[in-house]
Amino acid sequence: MFSDSRMKRYAGCGAEEVFRAIPTTPAGLPQERVEAMRAKYGENRLSSRKDDTFPHRLRRAFVDPFTMILFTLAVISLITDVLLASNFTRNITTSLIICVMILVSGAIRLVQETRAKRASDRLDRLIHTNVTVKRGGVLVDIPAERLVVGDLVMLSAGGRIPADLRLVKTTNLFVSQAAITGESAILEKESAPCPDAGRTPFTRLKNLAFMASSVISGRGEGVVLAVGRDTLYGNFVRPDSKNSDAFQRGENSVAWVLIRFMAVLVPAVFLVSGVARGSWLESFAFALSVAVGLTPEMLPLVINACLARGSLSMSRKRAIVKNIDAMQVLGSMDVLCIDKTGTLTQESILLEYYLDILGGESPEALELAYLNSFHHSGLSNPIDSAILACRTMPDRGGRLAELAGLCRKTDEIPFDYERKFASTLVRTPEKSHLLIVKGDIQRVFSRCRFVEYRGEAIPIGENGEGSVSAIVDEMLEEGMKVIAVAKKELGAQERLSPADENDMTLVGYLAFFDAPKRSAAQSVEDLKRLRVTPKVMTGDNSQTALSICRRVGLPAAAMLTGAQIGGLSDEELRAAVKETDIFAELTPGQKVRLLSALRENGRTAGFLGDGMNDIPALNEADVGISVDTAVDAAKEAADVILLEKELNILGQGIMEGRRTFVNMLKYIKITASSNFGNILSVVCASVALPFFPMTAIQLLLLNLLYDTLCIVLPWDSVDAEDTETPREWSGKTLSGFMLSFGPISSIFDIMTFLFLYFVLCPRLCGGLLYTQLADPALRLRYAALFQTGWFLESMWTQVLILHMLRTKKIPFLQSRASAPVLLITLLGIVVFTGLTLTPLAHPLGLTRLPLEYFGFLLPVVLLYMLLVSFVKRLYIRQHGELI
């Protein structure tokens, strides 16, 4: 676990004291101590090695709540239908079918897991390079993951820092900590002890370097203080944070509802059947078969089909879904956290004004800023790009190009996050040296002693800062980025030191316009219409962020900055995120805290990001979203990749996710309630009838036939009202749905039982009831007629209930199923009814029924549909929704 107190303690020590404390030596860690240090502090990995192995991916693919339920039922079926059954009734078909369902659904998941490579691979990429270390006085190149605490690492320009280091030797070492702080600033690092380390934020300690930072220039040596998950970066990057994401939480919730129903029904059926029949062993086998009949056997397959169908549809809308579980989470998402730059605004900014100290146009301020940017050797940034673009200006471009050719750089101090300005020393055509500084207004102004107006240097008065605010504040409120430009004559001096950056002359200001995208305001409105709350999380200036958010229609009444968030406890932050939609000046770790607070508040949160510093938030969010132009590691971390950085594409994805989710819920709710009704009917009939109303193989066949028809559900149309709000993936409403609609089918099942037992079967078996028959053949025919009659009635009602409950509206009239669903389900009724007329019926215990049965069946089914419609209206009135 990362310890800032430990890091600060080492930062305040001298190099020799660090060597003694670890312990190591200036010649590097002795070779014989390497394995001991690895055993004590662990490996330099962001995830454990075991997560990468095939057996663990195999376990993730096959071990989930639904497959475990099915596996348990397969074992139960094996016991009841094979081990406890007589030679005449022994049948292994049920167990085999369930095992095939498990294998097929698990294979689909395994392929997905192997391709995705999930957390460990995508994050280990950050440190999976070779590094040069000194061990026992010898320089060796080793893979970064083989580093241990105490190793002496050699740093050079262009490399990535592979662990948290205490620098012990530096030569002009400049580092970018963008992956840690989110700032593109370049910091100069030193090896000297920091006497005030205890009071300085550890990311600003100059003798510490952190994993995932980049070496911009210079060289250095550092002792490894922490590796892997114990580093600062590893502390807030949690590659396994999605192990309990929104999809899996919902999956567990649904599974527990089914388990609870089994836990109640199986003992009840066992007792009732045992008392009624007197055969406790037979009753035990029957009670266990009830559990088999209650579970939708093809649940994993249908869910995966729905998710895969949604993913395919998303690909046509210029979005790639890497993790198919993310389709459901998109439908459940009720908060979308986005960055400002490139999402709400253009990727680039434009120079709008170049002003003197009173707000008039100042060509000199532009020329000086151009020279500073032209000779800048640090990381490219939008401000420098906007200034350099001025060389194409018709009236100024020639002069700027001429100056760049005449003025040669002799030294510079790159932009520093702590200083927030960049300094360049140039030699002018007059052979003198001119210091040019541009950067943060307050930081630059605090170093100035004079202001320039109309070529004259005027001392800054007591109200100088107020004068600056009068010119600058209005532009900041309008959402512009404003920087200050200052200069200082240094005569013949050719080298810079920080002491030179004082007593300067303020020349003027440059104002840049960060224009909102044309589509941004409409995209924000679309998200609000979809009941998704957009929250802006940016590292940018608070006033600029506030202005842009106002322009695109985001509520700007409340805002929190990174400094304010740093002073809040977790409980206070959870309360704050409920009321605040704009967060500015954030570090990557603070974005993670905000997302964690949202999730703890019960929100389903998505995050859209594209940079190295966004990777922690992408992993923390319920669904991570990136773009095809993002850095590789961010794309690896994301669940969804947009081929264009436009919110309207994401809006389409949310709609597709909700359609996918609704179709998935249709299967789960309707099938579970239908199976529950069948089980109730079986229990009632088993108490009164001298034979089983349906055999185990018939019950399983009925479920499989219905489930097979449900494979077309991913292609079903969805009513517009069902996609208006985020949908919760939970079992909370499943039990109520089952209890409301399941018993309705039992009412008509009992009507069918009475007609079959007392009317149809006696008429076809010599006018006698089953108990009055002495001939075993007639008894078998009696039972076969009864079981076939209920099989058909149950199959008809199950298929039609799919149409009745797939929509709030009147089916076939106000809301029509898609052509595939309508065709397949109606064709299924015809085909499976015809099955009873073929030779295949006999092995299944089914037989041919006379036409008069269908004269009874049609009005029963019609009454059933009418009663379901009535109860559906009552259910919607009480719960506000159906599916």
**CB contact set of 682 (below 8 Å; sequence gap of 6+):** 290, 293, 692, 693, 694, 699
Looking at residue 51, its pLDDT comes to 44
Looking at residue 858, its pLDDT comes to 92
**CB contact set of 301 (below 8 Å; sequence gap of 6+):** 101, 104, 105, 108, 707, 711
C-beta separation of 804 from 869 below 8 A? yes
> At 188, is the secondary structure helix, strand, or coil?
strand
Looking at residue 844, its pLDDT comes to 79
Angle between helices 647-688 and 280-294 (to 10 degrees): 160
Mean per-residue pLDDT, 426-450 = 90
**What share of the chain in percent tops pLDDT 70?**
81
Q: What is the pLDDT of residues 557-596, one digit of tens each?
A: 788 888 888 888 888 899 999 888 888 888 777 888 899 8
- Tell me how far apart the alpha carbons of residues 421 and 436 are, in angstroms, rounded to a whole number: 10
User: What is the enclosing helix (H) or strand (E) of 738?
Assistant: helix 734-755
Locate 686 and state its tokens.
């088993």
> At 659, is the secondary structure helix, strand, or coil?
helix
Superfamily of domain 658-883: Calcium-transporting ATPase, transmembrane domain (1.20.1110.10)
- Tell me how far apart the alpha carbons of residues 283 and 302 are, in angstroms, rounded to a whole number: 32
- Tell me how far apart the alpha carbons of residues 111 and 113 are, in angstroms, rounded to a whole number: 6
Q: Quickly tell me which residue has 């000779």 as its tokens.
A: 375
Bridge partners, residue 354, by sequence: 510
What is the Cα gyration radius of the chain? 36
CB under 8 Å, gap of 24 or more: what pairs does 15-18 form? 15/166, 15/168, 15/169, 15/191, 18/166, 18/168, 18/223
Q: Quickly tell me which residue has 């494979």 as its tokens.
A: 711
The fold of 319-346+517-643 is: Rossmann fold (3.40.50)
**What share of the chain in percent tops pLDDT 90?**
12
Locate 809 and state its tokens.
């509206």
Burial of 715 (0-12, 13-18, 19+ CB in 10 A): middle
Looking at residue 770, its pLDDT comes to 85
The residue among 593, 479, 564, 611 whose CA lies nearest residue 184 is: 611
Burial of 269 (0-12, 13-18, 19+ CB in 10 A): buried
Where are the chain's structural domains?
4-46+126-236, 319-346+517-643, 350-513, 658-883
- Tell me how far apart the alpha carbons of residues 371 and 437 are, in angstroms, rounded to a whole number: 10
Between the two ends of the chain, the Cα-to-Cα distance in Å is: 44
- What string of H, E and C letters represents the secondary structure of 516-555? ECCCHHHHHHHHHHCCCEEEEECCCCHHHHHHHHHHCCCC
Q: Is the peptide bond before 588 cis (omega within 30 degrees of 0)?
A: no
Bridge partners, residue 208, by sequence: 166
DSSP string, 364-380: HHHHHHHHHHHT--S--
Ramachandran class of 342: left when φ > 0, alpha when ψ lies in -120 to 50, beta otherwise: left
Q: What is the pLDDT of residues 212-260, one digit of tens each?
A: 788 877 889 999 999 887 888 776 554 444 444 566 666 677 777 777 7
Residue 142, pLDDT above cutoff 60: yes
**CB contact set of 200 (below 8 Å; sequence gap of 6+):** 8, 194
C-beta separation of 85 from 91 below 8 A? yes
- Tell me how far apart the alpha carbons of residues 527 and 741 are, in angstroms, rounded to a whole number: 34
Bridge partners, residue 699, by sequence: none
Residue 392 CB neighbour total at 10 angstroms: 10
Looking at residue 222, its pLDDT comes to 92
Mean per-residue pLDDT, 531-537 = 88
- Tell me how far apart the alpha carbons of residues 411 and 425 are, in angstroms, rounded to a whole number: 5
Q: What is the pLDDT of residues 691-712, one digit of tens each?
A: 777 776 777 677 677 777 777 7
Locate 739 and state its tokens.
């209890």
- Tell me how far apart the alpha carbons of residues 878 and 245 are, in angstroms, rounded to a whole number: 30
- Tell me how far apart the alpha carbons of residues 521 and 829 are, in angstroms, rounded to a whole number: 50
- Tell me how far apart the alpha carbons of residues 538 and 332 are, in angstroms, rounded to a whole number: 24
C-beta separation of 213 from 175 below 8 A? yes
Ramachandran class of 303: left when φ > 0, alpha when ψ lies in -120 to 50, beta otherwise: alpha
Q: Quickly tell me which residue has 């376990």 as its tokens.
A: 59
C-beta separation of 533 from 583 below 8 A? no
Number of C-alpha atoms within 13 angstroms, CB side, residue 441? 22
The pLDDT confidence band at residue 57, using thresholds 50, 70 and 90, is low
Q: What is the pLDDT of residues 812-825, one digit of tens each?
A: 776 777 777 777 77
Q: What is the pLDDT of residues 722-742, one digit of tens each?
A: 777 887 766 777 788 888 888
Mean per-residue pLDDT, 106-129 = 51
Locate 60 and state its tokens.
């993730």
Q: Quickly tell me which residue has 């056997």 as its tokens.
A: 297
Mean per-residue pLDDT, 497-504 = 90
Residue 484, pLDDT above cutoff 90: yes
Bridge partners, residue 560, by sequence: 583
Q: Candidates 2.70.150.10, 1.20.1440.20, 2.30.30.110, 3.40.50.20; correct CATH number of 4-46+126-236?
A: 2.70.150.10
C-beta separation of 695 from 323 below 8 A? no
**722 labelled catalytic:** no
The residue among 138, 202, 168 whose CA lies nearest residue 8 is: 202
- Tell me how far apart the alpha carbons of residues 319 and 68 are, in angstroms, rounded to a whole number: 33
Pick the catalytic residue from 164, 339, 500, 639: 339
> At 210, is the secondary structure helix, strand, or coil?
coil
- Tell me how far apart the alpha carbons of residues 258 and 675 are, in angstroms, rounded to a whole number: 11
Mean pLDDT over the full length of the chain = 79
Looking at residue 119, its pLDDT comes to 37
C-beta separation of 558 from 583 below 8 A? no
DSSP string, 423-463: EEEEE-TTS-EEEEEEE-HHHHHHTEEEEEETTEEEE--TT
- Tell me how far apart the alpha carbons of residues 693 and 286 are, in angstroms, rounded to a whole number: 12
Mean per-residue pLDDT, 39-64 = 66
C-beta separation of 616 from 347 below 8 A? no
Q: What is the pLDDT of residues 328-356, one digit of tens each?
A: 788 788 898 987 666 677 666 788 889 99
Looking at residue 364, its pLDDT comes to 92
Q: What is the pLDDT of residues 274-300, one digit of tens each?
A: 776 666 766 776 676 666 666 666 666
Residue 741's identity, in one-letter code, is F
Q: Candidates 3.40.1110.10, 3.10.580.10, 3.60.15.10, 3.40.50.150; correct CATH number of 350-513?
A: 3.40.1110.10
- Tell me how far apart the alpha carbons of residues 5 and 7 are, in angstroms, rounded to a whole number: 5
Residue 724's identity, in one-letter code, is E
Q: Please give the residue that has the higher pLDDT: either 121 or 691.
A: 691
Determine which of 457-461, 492-496, 670-674 has the lowest per-residue pLDDT on average.
670-674
C-beta separation of 707 from 315 below 8 A? no
Locate 527 and state its tokens.
């998200």
Looking at residue 231, its pLDDT comes to 85
Q: What is the pLDDT of residues 297-307, one digit of tens each?
A: 666 666 766 77
Looking at residue 301, its pLDDT comes to 66
Looking at residue 148, its pLDDT comes to 92
Q: Quickly tell me which residue has 């009552």 as its tokens.
A: 874
Query: Which range is most confident: 87-96, 341-350, 641-650?
Result: 641-650
Looking at residue 755, its pLDDT comes to 92
**CB contact set of 132 (below 8 Å; sequence gap of 6+):** 139, 140, 141, 153, 154
